[in-house]
Amino acid sequence: MLNFTSLPRRNKTYAGANGSKIAVVYNGELYMLKFPGAARLNQDLSYANGCISEYLGSHVFELAGIPVQKTLLGTYTLNGKEKIVVACKDFTATGLVLQDFTSMKNTVLDSDSNGTGTELNDIMDAIEAQTMIDPAELSRHFWDMFIVDALIGNWDRHNGNWGFLYNTVTDEVQLAPIFDCGSCLFPQADENIMRAVLDDPAEKELRIFERPLSAIRQDGQKINYFDFISSLKYPACNAALKRIAPKLRQQDLRELVDNTPFISDLQKEFYRTMLSERKERILDYSLDKLLTRERKQSKNAR
């Protein structure tokens, strides 16, 4: 069990709205400590489970083989109260500058959409039009991220929390590791909600097929992960599904949850269930549907 209370602090500051953040040095490296924010959507919960969500979501990306910010769970005692916090390794500590997709989107001068707009067609147009990173590489990254966000139920992957690292010396740009996964896996759910989901099939299905929605919009409406992926209408999304889904093994997801410190048996059962069910009924279902279609197309082409 890690205790971050006595770690040396640094003067670097971090933006963002979800909870307090401080810079500390752990094992000679700079980390951002994120503290649990208020559970604004659930008055029965003292603090949101965003630190647990950050940790679990980041490690699911790691299981998928996608570069992601390193995260550690630990405790921090302030004014006699111990809180569970998540330490996020600062990947800009070497002097690189984090630039979000909003900023890159703003460089597309002939676009009528502003940088914060999350309409899917505008995002795809910006990916093709920008000149900092190979568009094919950037598109692949976006869709790989989308598939994992679908599994972990991330409702807040907007243009401001994914992006790039800019080298001010060489003027080079590279993809940043995935970061800011605190809005996944139902961070506002208290133990009463978790038990209700586990006990009531209708509540469980609601959180598999209907909630949460993606922050990405299509025709002004937030995308439903299941409907979008299982429609098989989007070749780049289909390709990402084939790349990512087989890497996310049920056993690895279970072991991730089982080995997560600080969470209760009920929480473990809830997270195991959500990851298992969303993997099987969104990703695996869609992949089986896609592979069946491809086999039929191949057979008909002979």
- Over the stretch 137-179, which tens digit does the pLDDT of each residue have? 999 999 999 999 999 999 999 999 999 999 999 999 999 999 9
What mean pLDDT do residues 127-139 have? 95
- Position 301 pLDDT exceeds 90: no
Amino acid 109: pLDDT:
62
Closest to 155 measured CA to CA, from 222, 205, 62, 226: 222
Closest to 139 measured CA to CA, from 126, 150, 151, 152: 126
- Position 223 pLDDT exceeds 70: yes
Amino acid 112: pLDDT:
65
C-alpha distances in Å from residue 220, one per residue of 20, 157, 173, 209, 217 = 32, 16, 31, 19, 6
**Rounded Cα gap, residues 283 and 60, in angstroms:** 14
Give 252-288 pLDDT, tens digit per residue.
999 999 999 999 999 999 999 999 999 999 999 999 9
Question: Would you say 266 and 195 are in contact if contact means Cβ atoms under 8 Å apart?
Answer: yes
Please indicate whether residue 17 or residue 289 has the higher confidence score (pLDDT). 289
Whether this prediction's pTM lies above 0.75 is answered by yes
Half-sphere exposure (Cβ direction) of 261: Cα atoms closer than 13 Å: 11
Question: What average pLDDT does the structure give for the chain?
Answer: 92
**Rounded Cα gap, residues 5 and 208, in angstroms:** 37
Amino acid 233: pLDDT:
97
Question: Would you say 164 and 175 are in contact if contact means Cβ atoms under 8 Å apart?
Answer: yes
Amino acid 110: pLDDT:
67
Residue 45 confidence class, pLDDT cut points 50, 70, 90 = very low
71-78 vs 29-34, strand pairing mode: unpaired
Amino acid 222: pLDDT:
98
Per the rule left: phi > 0, alpha: psi between -120 and 50, beta: everything else, 246 is alpha
Please indicate whether residue 73 or residue 17 has the higher confidence score (pLDDT). 73
